Structure 1
């Protein structure tokens, strides 16, 4: 069992990450990892964050189940499932630091520019199924390299001016599926320490409390506040990659 200080830091990190993810739909690891990676070794912190993030995504999916757009999400997921193994192969054979930094620059610049735009764009015409699958492929590929599978689909939704419920209903199942797939690959390549499961059990109250409050906040904020929150999180995530 962790000591009192470690337990407190674990709970604070998980609660903060779960709240932000419940509000925005992503960024659990970006928020919680700022603390957890200073408290635990990466081989323990990363699987713990992935497991917690899946718990948050499951809570989000249940809370937003009436808004889920399954047809579009399945197209994203199919594309993503093709992209993730390619990313894993690149990680094993290529130095991906430059790719990560380059993607971080693009995400940060996009978010900064869109935050300064005085007006919102409006949703355009419906796009072809192959384009949706291609966005999913890009999300899976980039997610495998940067642990940010939702970045490209989220940017795509923002560029099309999707309302917050429509955006969450489309992207949320995709992020959940990519995280389940990623942790399955991780489990297949290494044995997880039993301490990871102990830490996960200890963090469950903070996980569900943060998720619930985040979802409540999501329903209460207006479209403008939600969009700015997402863009700020994209900006922070991009800078963290740089």
Structure 2
């Protein structure tokens, strides 16, 4: 493929992924990967998507800094940090394809069902510290196996009927730290090629533009629209795990 066409597709993929992630808080790889995994080899596409996704998460954290729920986020992060090493061990010692597909089915069914029923009533009071850490553990474990660390915490927030600002403020730091953790583990094994660095530099304008527009869209979307967006992205992400 000519370099110009490749660079255009790279920019389109990164812009689309950054916009969706800026709006919803996750799903950069699910959106951008649909294009990037077709034009690059996995060892080039995966670290590129991780690096770009971390860039979007940094923008999200800055934009939502007043909404961050530090105590709950730290509990999620501690739980997730315990779950990721187990996922890495499973990836090295067992065939996890059935587990990934099963999780994808559960996520897709949940999202599909919730799209056709009213929003849940907001839960009174905060969740226990143990439950929050347990949700983080599940997010880290499943995230290490599926590259979707935010799926379980996002579903948990939806089941509690949390408003969009509270949900993003709780889950966003968790997703960012889990992605940094995953990128560090990947770089320890494979390093970062000069080709990935060049592609990252080329994609920066699209990354910044998509992130800014996605965050702007988040600030202007209502609660119902945001919830439907989240559920549609969970449905697509779950289906992608099944079909992978």
Distance 2:209 2:191 in 1: 29
Is the aligned partner of 1:155 residue 2:155? yes
Distance 2:118 2:103 in 1: 25
Report the equivalent of 1:57.
57
Distance 1:45 1:119 in 2: 36
Report the equivalent of 2:222.
222
Report the equivalent of 1:164.
164
Unmatched runs of 5 consecutive residues or more in structure 2: none
Distance 1:225 1:58 in 2: 24
Unmatched runs of 5 consecutive residues or more in structure 1: none
| TM-score normalized by the length of structure 2 | 0.97
Report the equivalent of 2:143.
143
Distance 2:57 2:123 in 1: 26
Report the equivalent of 2:232.
232
Report the equivalent of 1:84.
84
Query: Would the alpha carbon gap of residues 188 and 28 (structure 1) be closer, same or farther in structure 2, given more than 3 Å must change?
Result: same
Distance 2:167 2:202 in 1: 32
Report the equivalent of 1:191.
191
Aligned residues: 241
Q: Does structure 1 retain, via aligned residues, the 8 Å contact 2:120–2:159?
A: no
Distance 1:124 1:15 in 2: 38
Distance 1:119 1:69 in 2: 22
Report the equivalent of 1:20.
20
Distance 1:29 1:124 in 2: 34
Distance 2:108 2:55 in 1: 27
Partner SS state of residue 65, structure 1? coil
Distance 1:119 1:142 in 2: 25
Distance 2:238 2:125 in 1: 29
Distance 2:119 2:102 in 1: 27
Report the equivalent of 1:110.
110
Q: CA deviation at 1:142?
A: 0.2
| TM-score normalized by the length of structure 1 | 0.98
Distance 2:121 2:8 in 1: 42
Displaced runs of 4 or more, over 4 A: none
Alignment deviations for residues 8-47 of structure 1 (CA, whole Å, 9 cap, x no partner): 0000000000000000000000000000000100000000
Alignment deviations for residues 145-198 of structure 1 (CA, whole Å, 9 cap, x no partner): 000000000000000000000000000000000000000000111122110010
CA RMSD of aligned residues (A): 0.9
Distance 2:227 2:119 in 1: 12
